[in-house]
Structure 1
Amino acid sequence: MTPNTILIVTHSNDNLAIDKVTTALIHKGYKVVRLNTDLYPYQVRLEVLYSSSCPGHQLITETGEILLDIDIYAVWYRRFNPGADLPKDMDKQQRKACREEAKRTLLGYLQSLDCFVMDDYWQIRKASNKEYQQKLALQLGLNMPATLITNQPAAVMKFHQAYSGKMITKMQTAFSLVQDNREQVVYTSKVEEQHLQQLDGLALCPMVFQENIHKQLELRVTLVGDRVFCAALDSNKHAEMRDDWRKIGAITMHEWFDYSLPEDITYKLQALRKKLSLNYGAADIILTPEDQYYFLEINPCGEFYWLDQYTQAGICEAIAEHLHHQGVKEN
């Protein structure tokens, strides 16, 4: 019997992109099972048996839905947060150990499935390495802002001088800090003169420093296999978002608009996606007032749903179509 189920790996708080992709897949005749990884192992059950007589896998979701490995046609790996729903009053050491065991077990399960996966967890981890991305991007001829990643204050001072003080700083990982009972997200920020007197903290944590490129537009380029979706935002309209559009991004989603990316940039981005062994990627690019394109990064699991909402891009349908066609090749 031909497998006919698409497994979507996500968490219970994901956005409506999951529902839209699910609807598109159902219209193509597939059954869709959603694996909310945050509910494993406390609510979701998994049985993996290795035996010469009857090897197999059985996944039981929080709703009681049963999925056998032989029924899986393809997997869309989107979000991963195992053990998040474990009781908060557990001993901290035990909770940490349980989460790690849940993570390893789920990853082992996914890795053992004999079907198409968009995209493999370990390949995503490798492709997420910013230094690796930048090396490949330069090799492929993409323009990039000069970038310094360091824990040495002297190197920052030299870099700051080399670019006449036009410098921003950011972190490689997204995180937030709680101050005065308020969550403060760490965004990309401009480095001012007074900040150069506060570089001692680099001894505890390296940071990314980058040449500050003046923007005409910010571009989000979503790659789904060979299909390319590009949208633009004029972040100069709002002072709060000139360094990082995400600062007030939630209230300016409607300001994104469709944009035609030049063929040579499209070609280089697709070459980068393939070099990274990805089926999906969301790239950030800056267009300067001189019409020069500067690549910043590509996110292997980058968000896209707001583009479908406000530009009618059709990315959800493209993901469903890609899962269908690539699954045909695998099966």
Structure 2
Amino acid sequence: MKKNKVVIVTHSNDNPSIDVVSEYLKERGVQAVRLNSDLFPTQVTIENHQTNEGSNNRLITEEGIEVESGDVFALWYRRFQPAKGLPKDMEASFKGPSAEESKRTLLGYMDSLDCFKLDDYWSIRHASNKEFQLMLARKVGLDLPNTLTTNSPKAVREFYHANQGNIITKMQTSFSVWEDGQEQVVFTNKIEEPHLEQLESLNLCPMVFQAHIEKEVELRATIVGNNVFCAAINPNEISGMELDWRKRGQHTLDKWMPYELPQDISDKLVQLTVALGLNYGAADIIVTPKGEYKFLEINPCGEFYWMDAFQQLGICEAIAENLLAGGRRKV
């Protein structure tokens, strides 16, 4: 029997990119099956059979769609929120173990599928390590800003002076904190001299410090296989986004414009994803007033859909083609 299904690992509140990619696959005779990870184990079922004769897995979605492992030729890993649907009043002593078992079962399901993965979970986890990706970015020839990751106040003070007092700080992971009942997302912030005497909390949580780069434009370059799709935004477009466009993210969606990257930068970004073991990545780049391209980071599962929705860059179609082709084609 011909394999004719693609499993999309996401969650029930994901954006319409799932539907657009699924429609492209349907036009090519392939059924996209949505695995809403937040609905496992409450509504989604997984049966993983391992015997001496072999293995067989069955996925049953909340809509009752059944998928045998032998029918799956590709998996698109996009979002992962196992056990989010567990009852809110479930005792913590049971909820924690249930969430961990659910995560491991889903990972076991994905790992046991003998198919192409865009991308493999463990490659994504490794590629998410900022120091690792910066090291590889340097090796492929991308230009980096001076960066320090540390829990040492002394190292930060030395870094501040070595970069003429012009540095910013950010976190390696995206998260928020709650203050007075309000969710406060942690964004990029400028370090001023008075802050140098307020670094004691680094012994509780290390941070990333980076030379502050003057911006002509900010770029988001989305790599899919051998293709690079790029959009740009003026950092002065909206007040409050000079250091981090995400601070005003919802207000910038229609402000991005298509941008043509120099071929050598595009080639290096593809080389970086190859080195990271990825077919997909979303890279953040700054273009300086001098025309320099400064690579900041690459997100293995970074968002892209707003660029497709407003600028029709063709990323959804490229993702569908990458899934159908089983990865990037040799060039």
Q: TM-score range by the shorter chain?
A: over 0.9
Separation in 2, partners of 1:237, 1:62: 43
**Structure 1 residue runs without a partner (length 5+):** none
Check whether the contact 1:258–1:311 (CA below 8 A) recurs between aligned residues: yes
**CA-based RMSD:** 1.3
Distance 2:140 2:174 in 1: 27
Number of the residue aligned with 1:190? 190
Q: Deviations over 1:22-77 (max 9, x none)?
A: 11111111111100001101111111111235731111111111110011121111
Higher share of residues assigned helix? 1
Partner residue in 2 for 1:165: 165
| Contact kept in structure 2, 1:115 and 1:327, CA below 8 Å | no
SS at match of 2:302: coil
Equivalent pairs counted in the alignment come to 329
SS of equivalent residue, structure 2 residue 202: helix
Residue 308 of structure 1: how far off its partner (Å): 0.2
SS in 1 for 2:57: strand
Match of 1:79 in 2: 79
Whether the aligned pair in 2 keeps the contact of 1:74 and 1:327 (CA below 8 Å) is no
Deviations 1:81-123 (A, max 9, x none): 1111011111112111111111111101111111111100000
Q: Is the 8 A contact 2:9 2:35 kept in 1?
A: yes
Q: Given the two structures, how large is their TM-score scaled by the length of structure 2?
A: 0.97
1:100-179 superposed matches below 5 A: 100-179=100-179
Is the CA contact 1:284–1:298 (under 8 Å) kept in the aligned structure 2? yes
CA distance in 1, matches of 2:270, 2:115: 23
Name 2:253's counterpart in structure 1. Answer: 253
Structure 1 CA distance for aligned equivalents of residues 239 and 115 of structure 2: 47
SS at match of 1:221: strand
Could you tell me how far apart the structure 1 residues matched to 2:88 and 2:97 are?
14
* 1:257-286 superposed Cα distances (whole Å, 9 cap, x missing partner): 011100111111111110001010000000
Aligned to 1:41: 41
Where in structure 1 do 4 or more consecutive aligned residues deviate above 3 Å? 52-55
Please, which runs of 5 or more residues in structure 2 have no aligned partner? none
CA offsets, 1:211-267, max 9 Å, x none? Answer: 000000000000000111010000122330000000011111111001110011111
**1:226: which partner in 2?**
226
Match of 2:304 in 1: 304
Quick one: which amino acid aligns to residue 104 of structure 2?
Answer: R
Identity across matched positions, percent = 55
Calculate the TM-score normalised by the size of structure 1.
0.97
Aligned residue identity for 1:257: M
**Equivalent position SS for 2:326:** helix
1:327 positional shift: 7.0
Aligned to 1:8: 8
Residues 1:238 and 2:238 are matched in the alignment: yes
Cα displacement (A) at 1:154 = 0.6
CA contact (8 A) 1:216 1:236 kept: no
* Alpha-carbon offset, residue 141 of structure 1: 1.5
Q: Distance in 2 between matches of 1:238 and 1:161?
A: 30
Distance 2:175 2:104 in 1: 23
CA distance in 2, matches of 1:174, 1:96: 22
